[in-house]
Amino acid sequence: MAKVTFDRVHKAFGAFVALEELSLSIQSGEFVSLLGPSGCGKTTTLRMLAGLEQPTRGTISVGDRVVNDLAPGQRDLAMVFQSYALYPHMTVAQNIEYPLRKRGVARARRRELVERAATQLQLEALLDRKPRQLSGGQQQRVALGRALVRNPAAFLLDEPLSNLDAKLRSHMRAELIELHQRIGKTMIYVTHDQLEAMTMSDRIAVLDQGRLQQFDTPQEIYRRPVSLFVAGFIGTPAMNFIRGTIRPDGNRLIFEAGRLSLKLPRPLVRPDALRDDGVAVVLGVRSEDVGLAADGERATVKVVEPTGHESIVFFDLMDHTVVGRVGPDVHLAPGQPVGLTLNAAKLHFFDAGTGAEGGRRLNADQASAAVTASLVA
């Protein structure tokens, strides 16, 4: 196992900046996902760690060694590619064995290590087959076996499940989690799929446009996103956003957005920090924190999407589209009037200009109160 550190790593391709001053410390034995949309810099980060790209500046360390000037084969890292990169003319056993042959490992020892890896990945019955005779999931396990047999300091996985169907991806996620728990090796996993990152990772590094946005546990990133980008990227359905203004209203604060007026139970910012005309913010609320009220007809159902265990519902809330969730026994129809509540303990406020959440977050005392804000016409 090995700790992996990026210290102010910058990568530019000519005038294009692919990664900007990345500082990241991955602890030995952690499963860390690099998550973000296409072009955010996550694969470039992994390729620089593997030695397939050179950083423009900054240092990359594996354990106590700076690896910037080391060849890929000298870094003690194993990379699993999206395409699996299996040799089609070799059997499964020969594919797994290949890195050991390149290192000059004795034949008897190679056989022992291949059999051990095959047992760990349930490939014993497939060792004599060629890649073309395998399913996608089996090919993925062979690629993992070829990496596992080397016993590297860390595993680098570049979107290894993206070519699989949804059912097989779910199965392979569970296999990777179980494999990581069993071998305890550092794993760095590149994905654009938030579900993969949320379910598999000890911590997630969220990247956007070459910049690290947030690095924390899945739970913290979901509950306390630091920016509009992170809040909108993490979560399905995406967080609801409503642009408006917070202003004083007597001894309370009030959020206003057109016809929508939301009284807040306690101040979210110091009253003297607010001008009389208010501060422009973006209110964020997740779909599970949008609830049906027993009274009132302040919202209208627009679209209902049944998923079996629940329904995703789009509401028209005073000219703002808000997405919520209801249980399978709640039956709503398009055009139906309903009343809604927003859980004030779970509201997020972001700076309307920069997207940074800053001081506009409910503090711990307010959150524990779990007061439900009422929507006032």
Average predicted confidence (pLDDT) for the chain: 86
- pLDDT in the model for residue 175: 85
Task: Map tokens 């579900």 to a residue.
Answer: 195
pLDDT (0 to 100) of residue 160: 85
Other CB atoms closer than 10 Å to residue 335's CB: what's the count?
Answer: 9
**Band of the pLDDT at 55, cuts 50, 70, 90?**
very high
**Greatest alpha-carbon span in the chain:** 82
- What are the structural domain ranges in the chain? 4-233, 240-376
92-106, 243-257, 267-281, 356-370: range with highest mean pLDDT: 92-106
Residues 125 and 265: their CA atoms lie apart, in Å, by 63
State which CATH number among 2.60.40.10, 2.40.50.140, 3.30.930.10, 1.10.1040.10 fits the domain covering 240-376. 2.40.50.140
Check for a shared fold between 4-233 and 240-376. no
pTM of the model: 0.86
> What superfamily in CATH does domain 4-233 come from?
P-loop containing nucleotide triphosphate hydrolases (3.40.50.300)
Is the backbone peptide bond immediately before 225 cis, with ω within 30 degrees of 0? no
The string of pLDDT tens digits covering residues 168-215 is: 788 888 888 988 998 899 999 999 999 999 999 999 999 999 999 999
Under the banding of pLDDT at 50, 70 and 90, the label for residue 295 is: low
